[in-house]
Amino acid sequence: MVRVSVQIHGAVQGVGFRPFVYRLASELGLKGWVINDSRGVFIEAEGEAAHVNAFVVRLQDEKPPLAIINALEVKWLEPRGFEHFEIRHSDDSGGKTVLVLPDIATCADCLNEVFDPGDRRYRYPFTNCTNCGPRFSIIQALPYDRPNTTMSRFIMCAACQTEYENPLDRRFHAQPNACPVCGPSLALWDREGKTLSHSSDEALRQTAQALREGKIVAVKGLGGFHLMCDARNADAVALLRERKPRRDKPFALMARDLAQAARLVEISPEARGLLASPQAPIALLPRRDDAPVADNVAPGNPTLGVMLPYTPLHHLLLHEIDFTVVATSGNLTDEPICTDENDAIRRLGHIADLFLVHNRPIERHVDDSVAWLVEGKPRLLRRARGYAPLPIPLTRAMPTILAVGAHLKNTVALSVGDQAFISQHIGDLETAQAMRAFERVIRDFLRMYEAKPTIIAHDMHPDYLATKWAKENADERVKLAAVQHHHAHLAAVLAENQIEGPALGVIWDGTGFGTDGAIWGGEFLLGDAAEFERVAHLRPFRLPGGDKAIKEPRRIALALLWEMFGRDACMQEDLAPVAAFERNERRLLTQMLEKNLHAPLTTSAGRLFDGVAALLDLHQVVSFEGQAAMALEFATDPAHEDAYPLPLSEVGPPWVLDWRPLLSAVLADLRSGAPTPTIAARFHNALIEAILATARRTGEPRVALSGGCFQNRILTERAAQRLRAAGFEVILHRQVPPNDGGVSLGQIAVAARKMND
């Protein structure tokens, strides 16, 4: 006879871990007990040595599907003579290192109940169990118990309570457990908040009818509101675009099931796995030519963002109708997603015709995550529902650092020991609403993990609102660490791949404040989290009008031409971006460039994409960042293998990639009538060959790709292939987005190293 104590760290609470331990111990005839504590799960078990051994092995091998074991400490002890195996009450003393789980899509068992006319949860929109349902979006405090969730206002009925207390039931300690008798319910509201329905079921049917009629409905879901309409109905989609307003940016879709999704997009086995995963993200997949959606859902885009229903509410709604719906975040442009029905009436009242609401409060906003497949493997572009707030494991323990992230696609991050908790996607910090959400998430994170940061890491840009917030919130006990934007990108991609470095970081994006005060974005940084050398960058050019140039790629085209031809740039009226300006606008812009007035220097690769896209007349003015660059990617003929010249200077480091020969070649091709797909391909190939040439010149065997430009599939996949073929090891983002959503993680890694040295 032997006894073991087992301390398990990780995501082991709220996932049915204790009943699993109870069943396993009973099966093996072991005696002892199991308890949730603030670090995870603690077990004492005794019995025959062989059975105890099997118990320890099977704890790991057969753990519940949602459980994540980060560490498992086993101690062998003298037997005590326990009489039975029991589940003891939670102990919430001690440091809080237990993981908060993300919200998880409805499991197959719950779904069967919801569609089983004989089940007591038939058509119940809030069905869940220990294997699925809300977590992060309803948790108010730790430990994760019902009184600490927004479900505390609902008293369980006798039937639910029995399930909740039975260790052998799938709903044992399922904190959001509910049924039609005791749980939340649905209602349909008009724009004034007047209730139009008499029951949950009627609300669902009325919503389905409204969608069929082309109406726009705001639907309160798991982590916030969606705005929904019939995706086939071009008028409804146009109305949604006009009201939001959102001119061109693609809308996400929700399909009833995999079969319906397969009519929209090409679904590989990996894509199927991603769509049907418990995280159920929006997956960006190749659009089918005959996809039954209106053209204005994702204009000019060869991919569609598709997700499957992830709550019973969504399943039931999609089963009422036989078409796919647009399901876009219920927010105004640049504002965070709405989570409260009264707030939704105020903010979305002019967008939605009707509001499908419920009375289970959403504690915090959690947007849909966005994923794509790179070289066939799932990667994240927006990390939120299903993933946040699970931590990224770090290679070493760090001081408690709060990182406030970048200006666009903001997330914040917090390091606790050797883990980094990255917040859900917050968004662009451009509006007061977004700033309030940013502050709320920080307060929330610090409270949840009872963390007192000793360092606040922030971007070097002095004018970013996040930087200002960091400076206002530092005092003698909290030090500030300013982190260069592209260095943070490099540190992020290294950190999430558990690599200490060094590496050559190819960091290409739209905008980041450089150490020289210029706007960087076409950078080659050799280094690690501690330090970097800028070994190469794009030849600088000017952004006439600063931020205005981001909205108007034609300004960038003009600035590129100006670098080559000076004043004569304006005469080349055969070029689309030149012709797109009035004569006096051109004169004004040339003056800005000549006198260097409000025309900051940049080395941004993203802006080079914009400028070339304007020369090809893909977009002269855009309605969202990246629109022109995306059009250039989509225009590319992948069969073309030749490249424009993009030579690397002999002088350096920093070596300079001179885009002028490239631009000359583009102009020659344009004027000789070469097709746009060919020019776009030669442009992409030039960048890829330049990455390879710079990697060879640098000689560092490991190359990491990060920055928003690596949301471009052709650039990412081809650069990775070419580098690997040449013998380099290539590091890509996986769980953390390559865009600025990943910057907060990198800020933590850099700040930790800075403070150590």
Residues forming the site for Zn ion (CB under 5 A): 107, 110, 129, 131-132, 157, 160, 179, 181-182
- Binding partner selected for residue 363 from Fe ion, Zn ion, none, CB under the kind-specific 5 to 8 Å limit: none
Q: How far is Cα 168 from Cα 328, in angstroms, rounded to an integer?
A: 39
- Least CB distance from residue 666 to Fe ion, whole Å? 25
Closer residue to Fe ion in complex, CB, 312/742: 742
| Distance from chain centroid for Cα 567 | 44
Q: How far is Cα 539 from Cα 646, in angstroms, rounded to an integer?
A: 10
Strand, coil or helix: what is 131? coil
- Least CB distance from residue 602 to Fe ion, whole Å? 13
- Least CB distance from residue 156 to Zn ion, whole Å? 6
Strand partners, 306: 253, 283
- Binding partner selected for residue 157 from Fe ion, Zn ion, none, CB under the kind-specific 5 to 8 Å limit: Zn ion
- Least CB distance from residue 526 to Zn ion, whole Å? 49
- Binding partner selected for residue 341 from Zn ion, Fe ion, none, CB under the kind-specific 5 to 8 Å limit: none
Closer residue to Fe ion in complex, CB, 689/740: 740
- Least CB distance from residue 37 to Zn ion, whole Å? 25
From the number of C-beta atoms within 10 Å of its C-beta (0-12, 13-18, 19+), residue 501 rates as buried
**Which residues of this chain interact with Fe ion, rule CB under 5 A?**
509, 740
Closer residue to Fe ion in complex, CB, 363/509: 509
Q: For residue 400, give the nearest of 29, 95, 737, 58 by alpha carbon.
A: 95
- Least CB distance from residue 367 to Fe ion, whole Å? 19
Q: How far is Cα 294 from Cα 39, in angstroms, rounded to an integer?
A: 50
Q: How far is Cα 559 from Cα 569, in angstroms, rounded to an integer?
A: 8
Tokens encoding 28: 């093996």
- Least CB distance from residue 448 to Zn ion, whole Å? 24
- Least CB distance from residue 438 to Fe ion, whole Å? 17
Q: How far is Cα 549 from Cα 566, in angstroms, rounded to an integer?
A: 18
From the number of C-beta atoms within 10 Å of its C-beta (0-12, 13-18, 19+), residue 152 rates as middle
- Binding partner selected for residue 77 from Zn ion, Fe ion, none, CB under the kind-specific 5 to 8 Å limit: none
| Distance from chain centroid for Cα 756 | 30
| Cα separations in angstroms, 627 against 510, 531, 634, 676 | 12, 33, 11, 17
Closer residue to Zn ion in complex, CB, 163/700: 163
Q: How far is Cα 229 from Cα 138, in angstroms, rounded to an integer?
A: 27
Closer residue to Zn ion in complex, CB, 178/437: 178
Beta-strand relationship, 702-706 and 729-731: parallel
- Binding partner selected for residue 740 from Zn ion, Fe ion, none, CB under the kind-specific 5 to 8 Å limit: Fe ion
- Least CB distance from residue 179 to Zn ion, whole Å? 3
Q: How far is Cα 706 from Cα 716, in angstroms, rounded to an integer?
A: 9
Name the strand (E) or helix (H) holding 505: strand 503-513
Closer residue to Zn ion in complex, CB, 132/613: 132
- Binding partner selected for residue 160 from Zn ion, Fe ion, none, CB under the kind-specific 5 to 8 Å limit: Zn ion
- Binding partner selected for residue 424 from Zn ion, Fe ion, none, CB under the kind-specific 5 to 8 Å limit: none
- Binding partner selected for residue 99 from Zn ion, Fe ion, none, CB under the kind-specific 5 to 8 Å limit: none
Closer residue to Zn ion in complex, CB, 360/379: 360
- Least CB distance from residue 740 to Fe ion, whole Å? 4
Q: What DSSP letter does each residue of 397-428 carry, written as one string?
A: EE--EEE---SSSB--EEEEEEEEEEPPP-B-
- Binding partner selected for residue 107 from Fe ion, Zn ion, none, CB under the kind-specific 5 to 8 Å limit: Zn ion
Closer residue to Zn ion in complex, CB, 107/465: 107
Closer residue to Zn ion in complex, CB, 157/674: 157
Closer residue to Zn ion in complex, CB, 15/218: 15
- Least CB distance from residue 42 to Zn ion, whole Å? 26
- Least CB distance from residue 403 to Fe ion, whole Å? 14
Q: What DSSP letter does each residue of 133-161 carry, written as one string?
A: B-STTTB-SSS--GGGBTTTTSPPPHHHH
**Which residue type is seen at 125?**
P
CB atoms within 10 A of CB 173: 25
- Least CB distance from residue 94 to Fe ion, whole Å? 39
- Binding partner selected for residue 509 from Zn ion, Fe ion, none, CB under the kind-specific 5 to 8 Å limit: Fe ion
Closer residue to Zn ion in complex, CB, 120/191: 120
For residue 439, report the phi and psi dihedrals to the nearest 5 degrees.
Answer: -65, -35
- Binding partner selected for residue 234 from Zn ion, Fe ion, none, CB under the kind-specific 5 to 8 Å limit: none
CB 103 within 8 A of CB 385: yes
DSSP letter for 483, please: E
From the number of C-beta atoms within 10 Å of its C-beta (0-12, 13-18, 19+), residue 641 rates as exposed
Tokens 């004043």 — which residue?
A: 567
Q: How far is Cα 41 from Cα 21, in angstroms, rounded to an integer?
A: 10
Q: For residue 655, give the nearest of 664, 646, 663 by alpha carbon.
A: 646
Q: How far is Cα 471 from Cα 475, in angstroms, rounded to an integer?
A: 9
Q: How far is Cα 714 from Cα 709, in angstroms, rounded to an integer?
A: 10
Closer residue to Zn ion in complex, CB, 179/237: 179
CB atoms within 10 A of CB 244: 21
Q: How far is Cα 78 from Cα 389, in angstroms, rounded to an integer?
A: 39
